[in-house]
Amino acid sequence: MVCRFPEKKFLKNWLKALMLSPGVLFPAGYLLVYLSINIYLNVEFKKNLSQSISQATGNTWQVSIKSLKPGLILDSVTLNHIELTQTRGSEQNVKSPAQTITIQTLNIPCPDLERLLFSQTERVSSTKAFCEKILADEHLFQ
C-alpha cells in the first residue's frame, strides 16, 4: 500500500483560496482597522487631546493620559488613568501647592470611531467632545 501525500501545487492553491476567502479577509480587515485606530488614539489623538484641554482651560491645567482603548465594536473609547495637574502659573496655585485630580477610567461613547482615521472634521469634533467630557468629569472630582 502506497501512502500518497497531496501534491505541493494542490496545497499551495488550497492555502491561497483559504486566505482570499471572505471568512478570512473580513476579520483580517477589521483587525487592521482596529489596530490602526488603537495606534492612532495612543499616539496622535492623545497628544491633540492634551493640547485641546490645555487651551480650553487657558493653560491652567495640564493633562496626562496613560492610554486610550477603543471599544471592541468601535462604539466607544476608554481613557485610563487621567491626571489633571494645575500649572504653577495659575492664580490659585501661587499660594498653594499644585493640585492633581486623578480619574482612573472614563468611558466615552463615540459611535463613529472608525471615521477618525479618514475624516479631519471627525477628528476635530471628537477631540472637542472628549475634552468637554474630561473637563465635566474633572469638576465632579474637585
Q: Give the 3-state secondary structure of residue 116.
A: helix
- The answer for residues whose C-beta is within 8 angstroms of residue 81's C-beta and 6 or more apart is 65, 66, 67, 102, 103, 104, 105
- Cα separation of 22 and 91, whole Å? 60
Distance CA 105, CA 69 (A): 11
pLDDT of residue 70: 94
Q: How far apart are CA 54 and CA 67, in angstroms?
A: 18
**Identity at 9, one-letter amino acid code:** K
Q: Look at residue 2 and give its three-state secondary structure.
A: coil
51 vs 53: CA distance, rounded Å? 5
Residue with cell 471627525: 122
Asked if 52 contacts 127 with a C-beta cutoff of 8 angstroms, the reply is yes
Assign 131 to helix, strand or coil: helix
Residue-wise pLDDT tens for the chain (142 aa)?
566 666 778 888 888 888 888 888 999 999 999 999 999 999 999 999 999 999 998 889 889 999 999 999 999 999 999 998 988 765 554 555 668 888 899 999 988 888 888 889 999 999 999 999 988 876 655 5
pLDDT value of position 96: 57
- Measure the CA angle with vertex 67, ends 62 and 73; round to 5°: 130
- CA-to-CA distance for 105 and 67, rounded, in angstroms? 10
